[in-house]
Copies of this chain bind each other. A is one copy, B any other.
């Protein structure tokens, strides 16, 4: 894992069950992000958050430190067992703002919490990716969250809609450098 491996947030419903299709997809997503050398940031709890961390652990590229759980409460032990680095914040849902500051944010389904994170990531100029067909990621995929022109140098800036973990990771790899440069005001 590279020193400055970018941290990519995977966000979604904290209650999806282990046997579900969404859980499986989040697991693949975590694994493929880790395969490519990215760190996986989540809210550290269950459902999609757990699955993404678990998937990263399965990657042959996994090294301790690849999964980060930004927790709402005080106790690092509240993190799911696949979190390498627990970051308790004591901020409640205020921790969503921290998650939304990851270098890219990938939504997979999700309810109001996920929605708040997608909106905050959009506000802060992050690369935002969303799985089609399910929950709030599905409703925002392929749209712009608002009409604000975030970066003039990225004419097709949008919530990039994807169908598969592979597609999501491809978009991160292809587009993150442009968003990083734009965020820093580079031409």
Q: Which residues of A contact B (CB under 8 A)?
A: 1-7, 39, 63-66, 68, 70, 74-77, 84-94, 96-98, 101, 103, 111-113, 115-116, 119-120, 122-125, 135-136, 145-148, 180, 183-184
Contact = CB atoms under 8 A, between A and B. Distances in A.
Contacts of A63: 1, 63-65
B115 A64 contact: no
B88 A91 contact: no
B87 A101 contact: yes
A87 B90 contact: no
B101 A74 contact: yes
A111 B147 contact: yes
A143 B152 CA distance: 34
Contacts of A119: 112-113, 115-116, 119
B146 A85 contact: no
B101 A88 contact: yes
B90 A124 contact: yes
A141 to B, nearest CB: 15
Contacts of A147: 111
Contact of A123 (B66, B88, B93, B183): B93
Contact of A112 (B84, B112, B122, B180): B122
